[in-house]
Amino acid sequence: MTVFQELKTTIAVCMFDQYGTVVDMQGGLTRIAAPYLASKGWKGNPNSFVTWWRRTHFENSMIDALLHKRHTPYREIGCRAVAHVLERSGIPYTEDEVRGLVAEIEKLECFPEVPAALARLQTKYPLVVLSNGDPDMLETAKRYHRIPFDRVISVAEANSFKPHVATYTKAAELLGVRLDEVLFVANHAFDVIGAKAAGMRTAFINRRGRPFERTPHRPDVTVRTMQDLADAMV
């Protein structure tokens, strides 16, 4: 029996990271940032700016998760990250501009193959999002990605950002399923590692063809696109 055959007999729910897995975060934010940065006279690479923005956001959210005190909203972490990168780049800005850039995260669109692939998966499995985004951001995003997920869960429910174990265990609890009945799907190694360590089964969407991290918490399956996952699971 192949791994996919075994998964098809045991998985009750397919759960997805949203930012960067379902929606194209890097490409979408780069398209938004480019004209803004040009208007400021900045001559750097907009794609690099977005990479710095996302890495700074990730670092700050991981610090927040490790502190595990009051959960800081995703939007607030995002504003801190954008302001920091603008300052490091020597770009003058207003707080309204920072909030406007972060708000664009709510309007991101799906990778091209995702809608059809998820529609196929949904013929067999309930589809759920588990995202680091704030509840209101995820609600607004529905108008733009237009995927009819069966449920959308914010990590705010668990008072921590992924990959804290509390986020995955809380999501399974809310759904009334065992951790090993969930196939967690992500484009990010850290998210796959977190879900796997918590006890979920995992699928890594390796769109960029990069090697996975050296870790004992490896994905159960690796595919190049969401369509490849649907082909194997339906």
In the prediction, which pLDDT does 67 show? 86
Scored b (16 or more CB within 10 A) or e, 56-83 reads bbbebbeebbeeeeebbbbbebbbbbbb
Q: pLDDT tens, 26-36?
A: 999 999 999 99
For the chain, domains (ranges, CATH) are 3-24+108-233 (3.40.50.1000), 26-107 (1.10.150.240)
In this prediction, residue 92 has a pLDDT band, given cuts at 50, 70 and 90, of very high
Q: pLDDT tens, 102-154?
A: 999 999 999 999 999 999 999 999 999 999 999 999 999 999 999 999 999 99
Encoded tokens for 98? 């920072």
Order the strands of the 201-205 sheet from edge to edge.
Answer: 151-154, 127-131, 13-16, 182-186, 201-205, 221-223
Q: Is the pLDDT of residue 69 over 90?
A: no
Q: pLDDT tens, 156-205?
A: 999 999 999 999 999 999 999 999 999 999 999 999 999 999 999 999 99
